[in-house]
Amino acid sequence: MMMTPYDDTLAVAGSGTTQTDSDWWRGAVIYHIYPRSYRDTTGDGIGDLPGVVEKLDYVASLGVDALWLSPFFTSPMKDFGYDVSDYCDVDPMFGTLADFDRLVEGAHARGLKVLIDLVLSHTSDQHPWFTESRQDRTNPKADWYVWADPKPDGTPPTNWPSIFGGSAWEWNSKRRQYYMHNFLASQPDLNFHCEAVRCELLDTARFWLDRGVDGFRLDTVNMYTHDRVLRDNPPLAPHMVINGIPPENPYGMQEPLYNINRPENLRFVERLREVLDDYGATTSVGEIGAVTDMYQSIADYTTLGRLHMAYSFDFMTPEFSATHVRRVVERMATRAGEGWPSWAFSNHDVPRVLSRWGLDAYPEAAPLLVAIASSLRGSACLYQGEELGLPEAEVPFEKLQDPYGIRFWPEFKGRDGCRTPMPWDASEAVGFTSGEPWLPAPEAHRARSVAEQEGDPSAPLNRVRRFLAWRKSVPALLLGEIAFQEAHEPALVFTRSTSDQCVLCAMNLSQQPIRVDLPGLGRLRAIEAGGFEGGGRVDGGGIELGAWGAVFAAVEES
């Protein structure tokens, strides 16, 4: 391999690339904040927007490029903000629109972009639109939601299930019809076959873009549109699996052909992209769930002027190996074509990655996982607490808040275990609140709090900071092509290459030191990568890797 030698004295301002402002999201690291659990400034035990503002210096210190806020809109909180009753206001428990404006201004002053979570597929049943729609069949918003007559025997119109259990249809005695809900019965689905609904939702996007947001994470973006003629879904074929659905949930027993994943959905996404493009340097990240072919779906949603990015759930399963990482990334490259992936190992909906991958006892593995996610071709999402190496919290049944977990407990414990308060210090309430936290703060998190790690250069927090800061100076890690090298478990080895730079990334996915031989690759020169000082060394035609170590090397002319 013949490449121009890498200059490890290079220091490039900003993202470290020549990309234009409109492409800032390519290769970016996005920090996902669940506001309810980040920082409470009022003592009510629930995090708020002023709490996020208070911690913006911390977010900036991580070396990330953007932050993504889970919903903070007005809501009855049956699903903790994913049941919206006013798209254009802040729920009082989180603060005010003025607080949001301060957050955007403060983030931008620190060089951080701001993405917010738009929940367009459904509203709360307390939204004024639904209050009007359910009154009768002739009011101005009668067709704003998905209403259907019962079958002659009174049963629901279709066999469609709800992800949160039971039928996707709820009876309304006033209209003497069923309405559709993909999630809770208190989350009725909007009717995307109605032009007035589509226009209203596009105006919602404009409202927040006008307030300065830099883009959106689009919740359940493939679930907006339903089948007009209400056909039943067929049983799932034996060889198929529904992506992102736990095996305890019967939702995974149908092939979701008609309740979600409709081709008409893509036309609305194209219109939303046109709105985003009107505002310049914006981006969109799509959550595509409950599909049988994740890669084809990502290709469909990230090409032809649709979404900028979409993320896969393939790294949010218990499977953990170098082979799995390579298989997922190569499938994405082959199947999704030019679509730009967004990689995430954790978020607010799945157990924390250290626990899910059996690494609770190895917080030192956390920087390696961050390095993997942010070294693959694509953009990376880092969920709050990943930088600390937090394990999943064990929340007792009597303290559970998540309706999903309550419904399927104890086989499936829901999402509360990854939503416990961000640990800022080792106090009982972990510096999150002066009151009682809405979810209990586990003892195991106190020892891994921000305050406990700040003064230790070898702690996961400071290693992640050094790595992400160093990464910005390496253009190949941001925008380069990826090619995997042959290596045995537990070694993960690949190159990232631009026209004038090739960087080898070698990672040890285990607690035992290993050696990786790379004959024929060319001459390797180790690059001092922040956060992985002493993580290994280049030795002739191979690399020695320490426990959970990584080596980055320039590939030079032989």
Catalytic positions, please? 219, 287
Site of tokens 């990854």? 418
Radius of gyration of the chain (CA): 24
Which pair of structure tokens corresponds to residue 534? Answer: 């002493």
**DSSP-derived 3-state class of residue 542:** strand
Which pair of structure tokens corresponds to residue 367? Answer: 């920087």
Rounded to whole angstroms, the maximal C-alpha distance in the chain is 78
- CA angle, corner 270, sides to 269 and 272, nearest 5? 65
HEC readout, 421-443? CCCCCCCCCCCCCCCCCCCCCCH
Residue 25: Cβ within 10 Å count: 25
Q: How far apart are CA 201 and CA 87, in angstroms?
A: 9
Contact 161, 250 (CB under 8 A): yes
> Which run of H or E residues covers position 354?
helix 353-356
Instruction: Look at residues 61, 79, 62 and name the one whose alpha carbon lies nearest to residue 71.
Output: 79
Which pair of structure tokens corresponds to residue 195? Answer: 């032009």
**Beta strand 73-74 pairing with 514-517:** unpaired
Q: How far apart are CA 302 and CA 305, in angstroms?
A: 7
Residue 300's φ and ψ, nearest 5 degrees, are -60, -40
